[in-house]
A = this chain, B = another copy of it.
Amino acid sequence: MVKVVILGQGYVASIFASGLEKVKAGKIRPYGIPLADELPVKIKDIQIVGSYDVDVTKVGRDLHEVVKAYDPEAPETLRGITVRRGIHLKSLRNLPIEATGLDDEMTLKEAVDHLVGEWKELKPDVFINVCTTEAFVPFESREELEEAIEGDKRDRLTATQVYVYAAAEYAKETGGAAFVNAIPTLIANDPVYVELAKESKLAVFGDDGATGATPLTADVLSHFAQRNRYVLDIAQFNIGGNNDFLALTDKERNRSKEFTKSSIVRDLLGYDAPHYIKPTGFLEPLDDKKFIAMHIEYVSFNGAHDEIIITGRINDSPALAGLLVDLVRLGKIAIEKKEFGTVYEVNAFYMKNPGPKDMQNIPRIIAHEKMRMWAGLEPKWL
């Protein structure tokens, strides 16, 4: 059994919950879940035990009701869990959403204690953090972090930063837990948090789930690198209509994306080909189905100039939600293996910005094999 607490009951979390229950019930095939039935921890072993949000239209409502707004075919098995009030800290600032968090009612320290208290009852193994993209500042030292919590410095912290702090507290008290950070806020890439996690028996996976155009771009760049084709330039656009794209129209949040290792191009090609790789726009009717477009020019043998263009219509939330079904199970495995801190082998395949801080991006196809081996599976092609 893997008990899961969801932090941020938005699009991704709702598709995760809905798809998970459908797969468990045998209603749909486990497509989009990389390791499907291969892991010793099975999909049917996953159990959602709690969910947190700050949207006033969600807090206090039944999970089934909330999920249904995103997927009309949400299974009935989601009934019985009530969405709880989480940390706000202006996570939804500038978005057209009315929100109140625990922090609007108590100090941060009290909120942390409140959460740890609830979690001791829910007994989760794994937390998945799928809050809206935040404008954040990483922590430089443990003291700075402790002071921010203790001193109730609300402007210094984001919801994610508080959640991980609380999860570490919980892990320390209960003997082990895992935290999957699927958003760009630096956690697995922040040595302060990795150190805290290691000490507290918390396994952290992160940062920023590897979905969308970037992993495909990565594999296409690897394709060119292996043939020694010289990439001249890379332009990559994407536009969508979900809240995450809306959030990125906010300048400050958009900057948080820049913390994501922009070194992916250099890591894979071995040189820094000029590139423009950014979330580009918000167009509401696209909803969760984003449009991506990518243009790459390169030099082939004898000085020949080639170009390829990739366009796509991709459902944004299912891509990430499917990865989460693996990540919660890998979290459980990390706890069992007592691999606390962060796990590069997992991050390298599943995350856009694989922690720890000093580690590179590698071709995902290679990362996939390494991750399999970490999880005790046979490699597929090696």
Chain A residues close to B by CB (< 8 Å): 15, 18-19, 22, 28-36, 71, 215-216, 219-220, 222-223, 226-230, 232-233, 235, 237, 239, 274-276, 278, 280-286, 291, 293, 295, 297, 299-315, 318-319, 321-323, 325, 349, 362-366, 368-369, 380-382
Contacts and interface: CB of A to CB of B under 8 A. Distances in A.
A160 B369 CA distance: 39
Contact of A220 (B22, B216, B276, B318): B216
Nearest to A299: B31
- Residue from A304, A319, A380 with most neighbouring chain B CB atoms (10 Å): A304
A20 to B, nearest CB: 9
How many subunits of this chain does the assembly comprise?
A: 4
B381 A228 contact: no
Interface of A is mostly: mixed
Contact of A276 (B283, B302, B380): B283
A73 to B, nearest CB: 9
B34 A228 contact: yes
- Residue from A30, A31, A325 with most neighbouring chain B CB atoms (10 Å): A31
Contacts of A315: 300, 304-306
A301 B233 contact: no
B295 A319 contact: no
Which 10 residue pairs across A and B have the least CB separation, nearest first?
A32-B301, A301-B322, A19-B302, A293-B293, A304-B315, A308-B312, A304-B318, A301-B318, A32-B300, A233-B285
B301 A34 contact: no
Nearest to A321: B301
A293 B311 contact: yes
Contacts of A304: 32, 315, 318-319
B22 A302 contact: yes
Nearest to A313: B307
Contact of A219 (B31, B34, B223, B284): B223
A371 to B, nearest CB: 10
A297 B252 CA distance: 31
A235 to B, nearest CB: 5
A291 B143 CA distance: 48
B302 A312 contact: no
Nearest to A241: B233
A309 B311 contact: yes
Nearest to A296: B312
Nearest to A325: B301
Given A281-B278, A285-B274, A301-B33, A309 B308 contact: no
A382 B22 CA distance: 37
Contact of A280 (B33, B215, B280, B301): B280
Contacts of A314: 300, 306, 308
B229 A300 contact: no
A255 to B, nearest CB: 15
Contacts of A30: 228
Nearest to A287: B233
A278 B283 CA distance: 12
Contact of A309 (B35, B275, B302, B312): B312
Given A309-B311, A362-B381, 10 more contacts: A15-B301, A18-B302, A31-B230, A36-B228, A219-B219, A220-B220, A226-B349, A275-B283, A295-B313, A308-B311
A182 B293 CA distance: 29
